[in-house]
Amino acid sequence: MPELPEVETVRRGLAPAMEGARIARAEVNRPDLRWPFPERMAERLTGARILALRRRSKYLLLDLDTGETLLIHLGMSGRMQVSGAPVGDFYHPHPAPLKHDHVVFHLDGGARVTFNDARRFGAMDLMETAQEAGHWLIRDIGPEPLGNDFHETYLAARLAGRASPLKTLLLDQQIVAGLGNIYVSEALYRASLDPRRAGRSVTSAEVSRLVPVIRQVLGEAIEAGGSSLRDHRQADGNLGYFQHTFRVYDREGAPCPTPGCSGHILRIVQSGRSSFLCPLCQR
């Protein structure tokens, strides 16, 4: 499942082609993905100008001049790729249509943005822009970890008194937006914190160490184009590269990269997900 850096990378890749463009024609090739598309979606999108392309947690949000916002979730295998317009230093011609091209945005300048999703775990919905805060997928999401509302005082308060494991709490989207398995594992390693510790056991000093580390890991991942383990591609079709700098994630049995540490990376299972840590460095 794409995490915050992957979705932000896609947003940045799409923005030059989509922001300010008018959707000359929206092509919807099936009735649903994870759930049914909104009524008359193609009709409501066709002719609309895209005022802004934003990200909230793991969702892309396209603000339209019709007063509506299109919400997009990439799911497990969803990709949005630009063709017919420059992307970075390259120009990508329109490819032949593929079997899983479920939604296609034909833009007025000749560019095309295609949403392809082989597993169909992605989703789209249309909502009134003014009502975004109350949308059922948005309303309970916590603060963005790269925003001003996520800080040491806030996180300490959310962890206080909680018996759940620290990693489980950081994955809770109501506590902090957009964090997933990869980046929580990497951040806890860099902050020298054991993912199995109860949230209430984390001291204020440790929280003060953790918050900037979370920001650092996410920033590095965004600059690297995210992590490509299976399905993630950037808007130009290229892979992300952050997986080449993983220190613990998916490195079970490898030596701990901390200089002087004799430990090896351990894999454990928490709430059905793999966690990776150095049992000597992380306390």
Q: What residues are annotated to the active site?
A: 2-3, 58, 273
At 76, list the tokens.
């497990």
| Residue 226, C-beta contacts closer than 8 angstroms, at least 6 positions apart | 2, 3, 5, 6, 8, 9, 232, 234, 240, 242
* Cα–Cα nearest to 154, from 138, 173, 176, 137: 176
Got the DSSP string for 169-220? HHH-TTTSSS--HHHHHHHHHHTT--TTSBGGG--HHHHHHHHHHHHHHHHH
For residue 223, give the H/E element and its range: helix 204-223
Place of tokens 């092509």: 27
Q: Rounded distance, CA 49 to CA 282, Å?
A: 50
| Residue 132, C-beta contacts closer than 8 angstroms, at least 6 positions apart | 61, 69, 138
The answer to whether the CB of 75 falls within 8 A of the CB of 34 is yes
List Cα–Cα distances, 177 to 88, 99, 170, 210, 260, in angstroms.
Answer: 28, 33, 9, 15, 35
